[in-house]
Amino acid sequence: MNLVDVTLFNHAQNQLRGLCDVAGFEPGDETPSVLLRELLGPAGTRPLGEEPKHLSDVADDGTPVEFSIAFDDDGALAVRVLGEAGSDNLGDRGSIAAGKRFLNAVSKRFHIPTERFAAVADLFLPDRPQGKFAVWFSLILRPRARPRLKAYFNPEVRGRDRAKDLVLEGFRRLGLDHAYDAIARHALVRGARDRLSFFAVDLDDSPLSRVKLYVSHESALTADAERAASVVQGADPLRVRGFCQALGGGTTTFAGRPLVSSYSFVEAEPDGPGTYSLYLPVRDYVPDDEVARERVGAFLAGHGLPTDTLDKAIGAVTDRPLQSGVGLLAHVSLRLGPFGSGTTVYLSSEAYGVTPPRGPADTVGSGVINSAIAP
Ligand code: TRP
């Protein structure tokens, strides 16, 4: 079969199978594939050689899925798939309908409670959605555990000026009336440069299931992320600084794609966020994926985490030379707080394309200048 005849589902399924092998899944476990097939829907059946009907913002090349491998500090591993449900219809209404179709298809089969989705759906899924997406999902897969699901909504879906109201109302409906205030004081302090970027709910009914709010910090300094972290008990700002230095390679101002903070709340403890995570879009601060891999590897090794697992995970999604592109390693995140900490590496599927590596002169908006001249 010619490479361009491979379908998106085949391509992504191979990658996901490889990642699940690395994470220690039973070889015959078909759950990840079944979920992936449902998530991609009709988009999954298209050969890679055909233009996708919809270019998703999940990944730079329009692929509607992005993988990640989460390294808990205690050694556990999880594989995750962030994705936009596929549909036959173009446009945002199609994508909302596709999201609902996906959730219907999998919720009964995998015992996934949908109450929290239903509680906020009318708020975040209007008839005329604005912005880059309306609803995304993430599949959270751990060996020998039941799969879990998370739904992501866009606070700016009714326009940027409504974002705060939507988030306040979303929290209120989920029993977290006071969640917003502390975040606003620590993470929404730089005017228009701090924006509410995602509102996410775990589709789970345990008292520890989470509601998460994400804030993107445009042109942020490491100190901005440290301040954002400091609201969470047990999130050591020094670890945030070390993370930014290691992954940013000395970048001082993150002027490319933004640093993103997230806060998670559990109903059991509604008053303060229990976890802080910082996402660093490493692809904008390196010349190529080889440099990204070196930085991520050094950071993992410094925390006693296995770099060979990182290399195997990379090998599961691609066999291209890492120097031949940039963006395979899309983001890296650091999670901190009393419920445990960890590092997650986001890996692009690159189904539709690879971003060429950056030359030294090719620095617009990339932050590469920063890393080149930093001490
Ligand atoms: N592709 C988008 C971005 O990079 C959305 C996205 C995908 C994202 N995975 C992410 C954002 C992880 C933050 C963290 O912004």
Summarised one tens digit per residue, pLDDT across range 187-221 is 999 999 999 999 999 998 877 779 999 999 999 99
Report which ligand 1 atom has the smallest distance to the Cα of 57: 1
The three-state secondary structure class of 61 is coil
Give the pLDDT confidence score for residue 6 in this predicted structure.
95
Mean pLDDT over each residue of the chain, to the nearest integer? 92
Bridge partner residues of 342 (DSSP)? 72, 335
Is 366 a residue whose pLDDT tops 50?
A: no
CB 82 near ligand 1, within 6 Å:
yes
Q: What is the pLDDT of residues 318-351, one digit of tens each?
A: 999 999 999 999 999 999 988 889 999 999 999 9
Coil, helix or strand at residue 351: coil
Please indicate whether residue 218, judged by its CB atom, sits closer than 6 Å to ligand 1: no
User: Ligand 1 in contact with 281 (CB < 6 A)?
Assistant: yes
Say if residue 317's pLDDT is above 90. Answer: yes
Q: In this structure, what token pair is assigned to residue 193? A: 């440069």
Mean pLDDT of 57-85: 96
Residue 367, pLDDT above cutoff 70 = no
Interval 85-112 mean pLDDT: 89
CB neighbourhood size of 63 (10 A): 25
Going from the Cα of 2 to the center of ligand 1, the distance in angstroms, rounded, reads 31
The mean pLDDT of 274-299, rounded to a whole number, is: 97
pLDDT of residue 257 exceeding 90:
yes
pLDDT score of 343: 97
Residue 286 has pLDDT above 60, yes or no: yes
Q: Which of 268, 223, 272, 228 is nearest to 248 (CA)?
A: 223
Residue pair 17/11 in contact by the 8 Å Cβ criterion: no
What is the residue with the minimal CA distance to atom 12 of ligand 1?
A: 331
Euclidean distance between CA atoms 83 and 253, whole angstroms: 29
For range 107-112, the mean pLDDT: 95
| Closest residue CA from atom 6 of ligand 1 | 58
Question: How far, in Å, CA of 150 to CA of 139, rounded?
Answer: 7
